[in-house]
Amino acid sequence: MTTTKTEADRQAITLTGAFTNYFGHEPDGLWRAPGRVNLMGEHTDYNEGLVLPFAIDRSTTVAVSARDDRTVRLVSSFGDAEAVEFNLDTFAPEDAHGWSAYPAGVAWELEQAGVPVPGFELYVSSDVPVGAGLSSSAALECAVALALSELSGARLERTQLADIGRRAENNVVGAPTGIMDQYASMLGTRNSAVYLDCRDGKSVPVSLGLEESGLVCLVIDTKVSHAHANGGYAARRASCARGAHQMGVGALRDLDSTDLPRAERTLDEETFRRVRHIITENERVAGTVDLLRTHGPHAIGDLLDASHRSMRDDFEISCPELNLAADTARANGALGARMTGGGFGGSAIALVSTDDAARVKDAVLTGFAARGLQTPDIFAVLPADGAQKL
């Protein structure tokens, strides 16, 4: 009898082989965690607001074995990522550099949380594009967090592991991100998005029903990363903090559309537009969830478009490539399209009827070529399950 191997099985076999070749013995296990697409709710997370990401069918897998000392050895198949070795007893967060800060940071934060982490050997492989706004960073953190939690016998809750991943990224990598990416990667379920309230950390799955509605979500990775992305992110956070302070609330989450006239009177013009994006974006997340529950995914196109306009004009985090991707997709039959992720580059998403997917893809490729822009990577994603042991 022959058994059919899926692509995932083949990747697992390849990774096990690579681990065994490198370390000279087999791994204790393989753990996988997905990247994510954010369907709605951009820059709302650090304003204690609402987000609606979904885990995607692209993931990062780590092969890991525990050691009986405190040595850590890290290898990745990604690009020119160099192999790293250190000792948990002498590790300090400020020593961490490059890609190893993610797995090392997770080990460090687990220990800070009281989990006794053994030394370990780890080999990473991934099909989440790096730096495309699909959160390859959270995929890596969550795969490592689940692996080390299980190997140390701690078996933390998924929400606790998501938080470990976020703290690793904030405190050891040094990126001041919110909790959305790690929650999506840990709590995603097949066919559903994760409706997450970033104030209390409570989440519920919301059925997306793309496949049965004859729809796909196309990701258009523009492959551009504008130089001001980090500075732009910090500046937006500062604007939001200033807006909340001047409006007399703890977080912009506490405002809604009825506060807009007062915000316009109180704030300078730019801060007002930043605040208006957050207020309306929170309402679009809630509106998207309502529409998905009552009318299904065909109904959410206009909200995707409105979100893109808000990010382009009010929050000013889009860029010509993202605008071109979203506009071209829409002009060629997409129900709706928006940039996704932190902005200033990365990816756009387009909700497209399965029948129109090839046409939209061709039109975007043609549009980019006509302007002499780098060829984008365009592929369909489906909502997938969150982190798991293989």
Residue-wise DSSP of 94-159: GG--GGGHHHHHHHHHHHHTT--PPPEEEEEEE-SPTTSSS-HHHHHHHHHHHHHHHHTT----HH
Q: What is the number of residues in the chain?
A: 390
Query: Least distance from C-beta 213 to ligand ADP, angstroms?
Result: 28
Query: Least distance from C-beta 375 to ligand ADP, angstroms?
Result: 19
Query: Which partner, Mg ion, ligand ADP, none, binds residue 131 by CB below 5 to 8 Å per kind?
Result: ligand ADP
Q: Which is nearer to ligand ADP, 40 or 124 (CB)?
A: 124
Per-state percent for the chain, helix, strand, coil, to nearest 5: 45, 25, 30
356 noted as active-site residue: no
Tokens of 225: 């990363």
CB 120 within 8 A of CB 148: yes
Q: Which is nearer to ligand ADP, 55 or 292 (CB)?
A: 55
Query: Least distance from C-beta 342 to Mg ion, angstroms?
Result: 8
Q: Which residue has the tokens 């692209």?
A: 58
Q: Which is nearer to Mg ion, 16 or 137 (CB)?
A: 137
Q: Which is nearer to ligand ADP, 126 or 280 (CB)?
A: 126
How many whole angstroms separate alpha carbon 103 and alpha carbon 39?
27
Parallel/antiparallel/unpaired status of strands 120-126 and 71-76 = parallel
Query: Least distance from C-beta 55 to ligand ADP, angstroms?
Result: 14
| Angstrom distances, CA of residue 244 to CA of 31, 235, 314, 381 | 40, 14, 16, 36
The 3-state DSSP class for residue 352 equals strand
Query: Which partner, ligand ADP, Mg ion, none, binds residue 297 by CB below 5 to 8 Å per kind?
Result: none
Q: Which is nearer to ligand ADP, 113 or 175 (CB)?
A: 175
CB 62 within 8 A of CB 31: yes
Query: Which partner, Mg ion, ligand ADP, none, binds residue 347 by CB below 5 to 8 Å per kind?
Result: none
Binding mask 50-89 for Mg ion (x = CB under 5 A): ----------------------------------------
**Which of 143, 67, 151 has its CA nearest to residue 102?**
143
How many whole angstroms separate alpha carbon 383 and alpha carbon 282?
22
Query: Which partner, Mg ion, ligand ADP, none, binds residue 124 by CB below 5 to 8 Å per kind?
Result: ligand ADP
Query: Which partner, Mg ion, ligand ADP, none, binds residue 133 by CB below 5 to 8 Å per kind?
Result: ligand ADP
How many whole angstroms separate alpha carbon 349 and alpha carbon 380?
9
Q: Which stretch binds Mg ion (CB under 5 A): 67-75, 137-145, 209-217, 222-230?
A: 137-145
| Binding residues vs ligand ADP (CB under 6 A) | 60, 76, 78, 81, 99, 102, 124, 126, 130-137, 140
Q: Which of 28, 89, 95, 181 is catalytic?
A: 181
Q: Is residue 137 within the footprint of Mg ion (CB under 5 A)?
A: yes
Query: Least distance from C-beta 329 to Mg ion, angstroms?
Result: 23
Residue 248, burial from CB neighbour count under 10 angstroms (0-12, 13-18, 19+)? exposed
Query: Least distance from C-beta 181 to Mg ion, angstroms?
Result: 6
Interface residue list for Mg ion (CB under 5 A): 135, 137
Positions marked active-site: 181
